[in-house]
Amino acid sequence: MATTRCYYEVLNVERSSSGDEIKRAYRRLAMKFHPDRNPDDPEAERSFKEAAEAYEVLADQERRRMYDQYGRDGLRSRPGHDFRSMNPDDIFSMFDEIFGGGRRGRGGGQARPRAQGYDLETEVQLELEDVLTGAAREVAFTRLDVCTTCTGTGAKPGTQPSTCSRCNGSGQVTQAGLGGMFRMVVTCQECAGRGSIILDRCVDCEGRGRIPVDRRIEVKVPAGISSGQAIRIPDEGEPPPPEADPAGNGPRGDLHVVVRIAEHDCFERDGDHLIVIMPSAFAQLALGAEVEVPGLGSEEIHDLHVPAGTQHGSLFRVHGGGVPNLRTGKRGDLVVVVKIIVPSKLDDDQQKLLRAYAETEELEVGASSPSLWNRIKDAVTGRN
């Protein structure tokens, strides 16, 4: 049955999301709910088909436009809009198009390209300082590998799977629909689409043909990477599913390592630029001073001239004090925001001096200046 939920809600994306964002969202859901990973789970199968239905519409620009403007009613004016009419193999074909693989042809149909394994995803945590030079980190993850005991067949060594008598090895059966008016092809429930039945199961993998294996590898993270970007490690994913390639001879999937960068206590990142708050005394700003501003690197110090009369919230730009650009390696800028610090305690001499100054002080009152945050953003983008 076709989903009644909003397609954007199904994929958990915004209506303004790009095609690549929609593709990545479908990819994550397809990996999570794929029937090969959730055998005998009707809810997972429903979610898998629901995600495929949403992607089939939103990945097509014309269909997406019609859906955005008229909803499902707009899709009915186009042929092929009804997802319920799709053959189950068409759903898998769309899945394989996203993942670059293929599945074995069933029911005597033409064989698809060689099956490919599933991609995996994990995360690695970095500090902002690591963005300056790059870093090497060890990541741990678990993947399914071919069972060495049964070489992926799922059968006890010395035995072989038997051809399923219900589907005759095709993995699919044809059922009559309502009143016999139409027929539909569904996955064989007897063999779960494998085309064969294992009578004597392998004790190590319990007939699955795959076993979980813990992996630890070193990942090199390049300088300038941003939080949320991913590093692709080829061939560290899983082998093809056992029903398509029991021995796992086809190409493996990839491992995608998503980088997460922790927030820094002093610096805030904006693209290739860094923003830092510089605490300053009243006398420094009034009289002018030469100050040292620490950079992101452990031994990085920037000399900064603060002219007399500098105001609270003033901005200074230190060229080359930011982080490297991921592609060019050129560092962005460090934007220094002046913040005046009012002393919480004054001794008697300091109070006398300050009171004497206050008697001569005349505060100029003028038009209000733009907000501090707007000025910071203008400085970062070079509009100051």
CA–CA gap between residue 125 and residue 104 (Å, rounded):
39
Count how many domains the chain has.
Answer: 3
With respect to residue 293, please indicate whether it lies within any of the assigned structural domains. Answer: yes
Per-residue confidence at 381, pLDDT binned at 50, 70, 90?
Answer: low
Please give the Cα distance from 187 to 204 (Å, whole number). 27
Q: Does some domain include residue 240?
A: yes
Which tokens go with 232?
Answer: 């692709």
Does residue 193 belong to any structural domain of this protein? no
Tell whether 202 and 281 lie within a shared domain.
no
The beta-carbon contacts of 181-186 under 8 Å, at least 24 apart in sequence, are 185/87, 185/88, 185/89, 185/107, 186/88
CATH number of the domain to which 126 belongs: 2.60.260.20
192 domain residue, yes or no: no
On whether residue 205 sits in a domain, the answer given is yes
- Mean pLDDT calculated for residue range 70-80: 61
Report which of residues 38 and 12 the model is more confident about.
Answer: 12
pTM of the shown model: 0.62
The predicted model gives 182-210 an average pLDDT of 84
Share of the chain above pLDDT 90, in %: 44
Which residue in the block uniquely carries the two structure tokens 């070489």? 151
Residue 4 shares a structural domain with residue 103: yes
Residues 89 and 21 in one domain: yes
Judgement on whether residues 73 and 130 belong to the same structural domain of the protein: no
Residues 344, 247: one domain? no
Over residues 335-373, the pLDDT tens digits come to: 999 999 998 899 999 899 889 988 887 655 444 455 656
Q: Are residues 231 and 299 in the same domain?
A: no
Same domain, 208 and 307: no
In this structure, the answer to whether residues 225 and 275 fall within a common structural domain is no
Q: For 103-139, how does the pLDDT look when each residue is reduced to its tens digit (9 = 90+)?
A: 444 444 444 456 788 899 999 999 999 999 999 999 9
Q: Is residue 168 part of a domain?
A: no
The predicted model gives 68-91 an average pLDDT of 56
Per-residue confidence (pLDDT) for residue 377, from 0 to 100: 61
Q: Residue 6 has what pLDDT?
A: 86
- Which pLDDT does position 1 carry in this prediction? 45
Q: Which residues contact 253 (CB under 8 A, 6 or more apart)?
A: 99, 101, 116, 117, 118, 119, 120, 235, 237, 238
Q: Which of 262, 277, 302 is the last residue of a domain?
A: 262
Pick 101 or 328 by higher pLDDT.
328
Question: Do 247 and 303 have their domain in common?
Answer: no
What spatial distance separates the first Cα and last Cα of the chain, rounded to whole Å?
57
257 and 126 within one domain: yes
pLDDT given at position 54 = 87
Q: Which token pair is 88?
A: 């189950």
Range of the domain at 34: 1-112
Evaluate whether residue 176 is within a structural domain: no
Please check whether residue 189 lies inside any domain of the structure: no
- Are both 283 and 339 inside the same structural domain? yes
**Weakest-pLDDT range from 141-150, 231-240, 327-336, 370-379:** 370-379
From 112, 130, 151, the end of a domain falls on: 112
Q: What mean pLDDT is reported for the chain?
A: 82
Residues 134-173 have pLDDT tens digits of 999 999 999 999 999 999 989 999 998 888 888 888 888 8
Task: Answer with the one of 74, 95, 112 that is the final residue of a domain.
Answer: 112
Same domain, 324 and 372: yes
Q: Encode pLDDT of 199-227 as tens digits.
A: 899 999 998 899 999 999 999 999 999 99
Q: Residue 200: its pLDDT value, please?
A: 92
What CATH number does residue 20 fall under? 1.10.287.110
